[in-house]
Amino acid sequence: MCSEFDIIRHYFKRSATQAVLGIGDDAALIKATDNTELAISTDTLVCGKHFFADADPYKLGCKSLAVNLSDMVAMGAKPRWVLLALTVPDNLVQHDKTWLSEFSAGFFALADSHQVELIGGDTTSGPLNIGVQIIGEVEVGKALRRSGAKLDDDIWISGRLGDAALALNHELRQITLEPNELVECLPALLTPTARVGLGQRLISLAHSAIDISDGLVADLEHILAASEKAAYINMTDIPCSPVLKKYLQQPLVMNCLLTGGDDYELCFTAPKINCRKIENLSAELAIPLTRIGEILSGEGLIVKDAKGSAITLETKGYDHFIA
């Protein structure tokens, strides 16, 4: 089987020669002014893969931007501009007059709340496919990269993980949540919150960062590979909702937490000496930030259970071409 990362590595990845940073992080970096680099990335949402065909268009408009904002957070960049490449079926244009107005209202609501400006795009007819390109600014040399993790760094997580995957599994009838439980989890799937502002504040505190889109284990392993380090995390330290905790004994639900993805929370590593400052930042921004493990020398990631034993995982994260 050929994975998404195999495809990128095999067919598309080359060393950057003109850019400051090319393929392989949450965003590319190009030099702008003497003081500023631009962080640039693109994320696509595909109907039937990332969302259901009957998804609420307002929420979809929000989410399509949020997943891109999340990449800017992971680079420590301030999001500034976006382009929208929208492929939309004829019936949503000609027969459902509310779809486009709702979608654009959701998109602009989130954009406006972060002073992000839509400056271009392309509108085409075809199977629903939402591509957003985002451009942010970061001080030269200061961007958070996947490759910066250092030995003994603490591993931190923003917010809590797994609710989006849990809600998705309910929708896919892999598990049955109580109605009130679904109400708790569904917003994480439909309207994820990008932690805009957090990344910029972590520039002086963290060594590396990635946004959790493919699942904690897969994304943390990207940090480890790029930084040539190993790590352990304690599963019991990973913040999760009471609903997820209730079902955590089920392997499916444990996978939601560890490998489910679609979280759009931040995973970052930071020296222990910054622990107190990060806790203060958490309080200041009212964003939960939780230590879940530590960077080690070597390679590989160990996920420990409550007794300290290593957990064996069947899959490491979401992959479009394997899932």
Q: Under the rule (CB under 8 A), what is the footprint of a copy of itself?
A: 1-2, 4, 7-8, 10-12, 14, 16-19, 21-23, 27-28, 30, 32-34, 38, 40-44, 46-50, 80-81, 83-85, 87, 90, 93-94, 100-101, 103-104, 108, 115, 117-127, 129, 131, 133, 135, 320-321
Do residues 306 and 298 touch, judged by C-beta distance below 8 A?
A: no
For the chain, count helices (H), then strands (E): 11, 11
Please identify, using beta-carbon distances, which residue of 133 and 169 lies nearer to a copy of itself.
133
Residue 35 CB neighbours (<10 A): 10
Smallest gap from Cβ 100 to a copy of itself, in A, equals: 5
For a copy of itself, the closer CB: 120 or 300: 120
Give the type of residue at 24. G
CA angle 106, 112, 115 (to 5 degrees): 145
User: Whose Cβ is closer to a copy of itself: residue 49's or residue 150's?
Assistant: 49
Question: Can you read off the two tokens belonging to residue 47?
Answer: 């109907």
Considering the complex, state which of residue 122 and residue 178 has its C-beta at the smaller distance from a copy of itself.
122
User: Least separation, in Å, of the C-beta of 51 and a copy of itself?
Assistant: 11
CB of 115 to a copy of itself, least distance (A): 8
Residue 96 C-beta: closest distance to a copy of itself, Å: 11
In angstroms, the CA 146 to CA 320 distance is 21
Q: What is the rounded distance in angstroms from the CA atom of residue 84 to the CA atom of residue 120?
A: 6
Closest contact distance (angstroms) between CB of 129 and a copy of itself is 5
Distances in Å between the Cα of 156 and the Cα atoms of 71, 185, 305 are 17, 22, 17
Residue whose CB is less far from a copy of itself, 137 or 221: 137
101 vs 309, beta carbon nearer a copy of itself: 101
CA angle 73, 270, 67 (to 5 degrees): 20
Rounded to an integer, what distance in angstroms lies between the CA atom of residue 192 and that of residue 28? 23
Distance, in Å, from the CA atom of 100 to the CA atom of 127, rounded to the nearest integer, reads 15
**Closest distance between a copy of itself and the C-beta of residue 179, in Å?**
31
* Shortest spacing between CB 175 and a copy of itself, in angstroms: 23
User: Residue 242 region, left (φ>0) first, then alpha (ψ -120 to 50), else beta?
Assistant: alpha
Q: Is 67 helix (H, G, I), strand (E, B) or coil?
A: helix
Distance CA 108, CA 102 (A): 10
Query: 129 vs 236, which CB is nearer to a copy of itself?
Result: 129
CB of 286 to a copy of itself, least distance (A): 27
Residue number, 15 or 176, with CB nearest to a copy of itself: 15
d(CA 71, CA 222): 14
